[in-house]
Amino acid sequence: MLLSHSFRPVTWQIAAVFILILAALIMFVREKTSPDLIALGVLVIIAALGLVPTGDVLAVFGNPAPITVAAMFVLSAALVRCGALDGLSAGLDHAAHFSYRSVIFLLVVLVAFVSAWINNTPVVVVFVPVVITLARRMSLPASKFLIPLSYAAVLGGTCTLIGTSTNLVVNGILAQRGIPEMGMFELTWIGVPATLVGAVYLALAGGRLLPARENLTSILSDEERREYFTEAFVPPDSRLIGKSLRAAGLVRSRGFRVIEVVRDGVSLHIEPTLTPLAAGDRLILACRPSDIARVRAMPGFDFTAEAGLEQISAHEGVIFEGAIAPHADIIGQSIGELRFRQRFRVIVLALHRSGESVRDKLETLPLRAGDILLMMGTEPAADALRRGRDLMLFNSPPLPSRSLHRRLPIVLATIVAVVLGETFDWLPIEIGAIGGAVLVCLTGCLKPKEAYESIEWPLLFVIFGMLALGAAMQATGAAAWLAHHLVAGIDHFVTGPHKALVLLAGLYLGTVVLTELLSNNAVAALMVPIALSIATAAELDARPLIIAVTFAASAAFATPIGYQTNTYVYGIGGYRFADFVKIGVPLNALCFVVAMVVIPLVWPFR
């Protein structure tokens, strides 16, 4: 046995690698710095310390996995752009007359099937408005549906090689190490059983374990849900000049609310107790229909054309919600910096993030992907937002891409060609995916600019950085050192034929725990070298351990940060962190059982 070797000392290189891993884990969890910067920082430190030769560090940029991931993002975007999901989402909308359990089972199976071929984030983005509409038709809160939607996309991604970027990352590492790559449908053996078990579980337990959360609109009073906008002009002789909103009695006045103050065409950041009103100011007011006449009779305002200004009129305000899209241009900017009202012609009333609703200091809060905005605007303004790329409105699904439906067969044929090329070993997956991405752009299925925008560039740099860390673990012997001591430790408790299963279970559970806290791609890149070293130390075939890492790195359901789709529905459904723990931990356990049964049967240890 290899375990008879004497104690292996810790070199400074091994210690440095473990310190880097610990520091990266802490920074990932704290979320003070973006993951891509952390990963690239790790790469630079590895090269600077000489843990891996500089040429080998830079070689990670030649790994086929990130390039394949980028190309698959483009193909997924082309499918969505050409309306591939329009028919499926419309069909799901007609399931409102079924029982809740039937709808959930159908939802999980349908979304999982789609997610097996398309990147799961755009699948969830497209289906969210459909699911919210379906929930309203069934008179149920959307929170009863959105977690199953996310879980379905995750489970579907485990069914094929191209189902999720995690699978492609692992496959790229195998190719770089000279290990036989995974087949297109090799993961189907474990992905399909897990998906079916998950669908049954969510259908049976979802109604009881999923919370009934109200949406962001519920923070409004009944009086606020149907209001009108009107603009009040402050004339030169107004008694309000020099007074703050509070001093003028405009903060808690009944019947209307001051939404915005505009001075010289610029929206002001107003402090109700400090900012004085000036002649010529325009106050944007929201009031109930029955109070419009009383508001117009208030002293100190003028509601008629003055000083060459256009006639001020009232417009009905529509209340609606929308989520910041994953690749929106407005991410990182505050509402004040964006001049949101001038740009989108709507007013932000509140923001929902990480399970909490925010109504104060909205002007200075940088926006994030997945933030839910409660807005008020006219119907034309809402329709313009619905056609844009920055916000996804919940009151109605996105407009179908009918003008590009005729190009859908081109995209479908391209993806089929990529799949067949990999399945029958005609063309490497990376070459097929890149060729497919070029083809959909040349044929007008997707504009080159849209193709570049569809790629999650931060994710690619996370993968590059973690690949460098994996290379450092291998080159310094850190992975072998850790594997040796893990296997030796288990040898003290378990021997014989059950030891391999215990190693498999331990590796799987360790991967799941890390995935619940970190990026699934980062965990996969980190754990594959460890899995290979464990297989060597325990004299086992590496394949079952690799499959366990690949599957476990995606099967993360117990936290909203374990997978990007979980994070996306977190705010939309009004969930709390504990909601994911309550419904996700049992699903994690079920997937673990499926893995422990299926993996040894399909991929023997020896």
At residue 85 the predicted structure's pLDDT band, cuts being 50, 70 and 90, is confident
Residue 63 per-residue DSSP state: -
| List of residues 6+ apart from 286 with CB closer than 8 A | 224, 227, 228, 229, 256, 257, 259, 317, 347, 376
Stretch 69-74: mean pLDDT: 90
Q: Is the pLDDT of residue 267 over 60?
A: yes
In this prediction, residue 313 carries a pLDDT of 47
Which residues have C-beta within 8 Å of that of residue 73, sequence separation ≥ 6?
119, 454, 455, 456
Cα 400 to Cα 115: distance, rounded to the nearest angstrom:
19
The pTM is what?
Answer: 0.78
Q: Return the pLDDT at 437.
A: 93
DSSP secondary structure of 7-60: PPPPPHHHHHHHHHHHHHHHHHHHTSS-HHHHHHHHHHHHHHHTSS-HHHHHGG
**Run of H or E including 393:** strand 391-393
- Averaged over 436-464, what is the pLDDT? 88
Question: Residue 399 and residue 86: Cα distance in Å, rounded?
Answer: 9
What digits encode the pLDDT tens for the residues 454-510?
888 888 888 898 889 888 988 888 888 888 888 888 877 777 778 889 999 999 999
Most confident of 400-409, 440-449, 560-569: 440-449
Give the separation between CA 477 and CA 483, rounded to whole angstroms: 10
Which CATH architecture describes the domain 220-393? 2-Layer Sandwich (3.30)
Tokens of 24: 């990266």
What CA–CA distance (Å, rounded) separates 381 from 119? 31
Q: What is the DSSP track for 448-492?
A: HHHHHHHS-HHHHHHHHHHHHHHHHHHHHTHHHHHHHHHHHHHHT
Q: What is the pLDDT of residue 595?
A: 96
DSSP-derived 3-state class of residue 541: coil
Alpha-carbon torsion 496, 498, 501, 502, what sign?
A: negative
Q: Taking the CB of residue 247, how many other CB atoms lie within 10 A of it?
A: 15
Interatomic CA distance for residues 525 and 174, integer angstroms = 11
> Residue 95: which residues within 8 A CB-CB, separation 6 or more?
102, 103, 106, 134
Describe the chain by its helix, strand, coil percentages, rounded to 5: 60, 10, 30
> What pLDDT, in 10s, does the model give residues 195-219?
999 999 999 999 899 988 765 555 4
Q: Provide the CA 422 distance to its chain's centre, in angstroms.
A: 28
* Contact call for residues 347 and 284 (beta carbons, < 8 A): yes
| Mean pLDDT confidence for 507-520 | 88
Q: On the CB side of 134, how many CA atoms lie within 13 Å of its CA?
A: 26
Sign of CA dihedral 480, 526, 158, 451: negative
The tokens for 590 are: 């079920």
* Residue whose tokens read 């900012």: 275
Q: pLDDT (tens digit, 9 = 90+) per residue, 534-564?
A: 998 888 899 999 999 999 999 889 988 777 8
Which pLDDT score is estimated for 119? 82
Residue 92 CA: distances (Å) to CA of 157, 387, 425, 508: 20, 22, 36, 35
How many other C-beta atoms lie within 10 A of the C-beta of residue 114?
22
Residue 306: per-residue pLDDT: 42
Give me the residue spans of the domains in the chain. 1-211+405-577+584-606, 220-393
Residue 282: helix, strand or coil by DSSP? strand
pLDDT tier at 310, thresholds 50, 70, 90: very low
- What tens digit of pLDDT does each residue of 103-136 get? 999 999 999 999 998 888 888 877 887 888 788 7
Please provide the average confidence, as pLDDT, over all residues in the chain.
82
Element (H, E) at 498: helix 498-517
Sign of CA dihedral 295, 296, 302, 304: positive
360 SS3 class:
coil
Q: In terms of pLDDT, which residue wins out, 534 or 223? A: 534
* pLDDT at residue 259, rounded to an integer: 73
Question: What is the token pair recorded at 224?
Answer: 């606020």
Question: Is 108:203 a contact under the CB 8 Å cutoff?
Answer: yes
Per-residue pLDDT, 2: 42
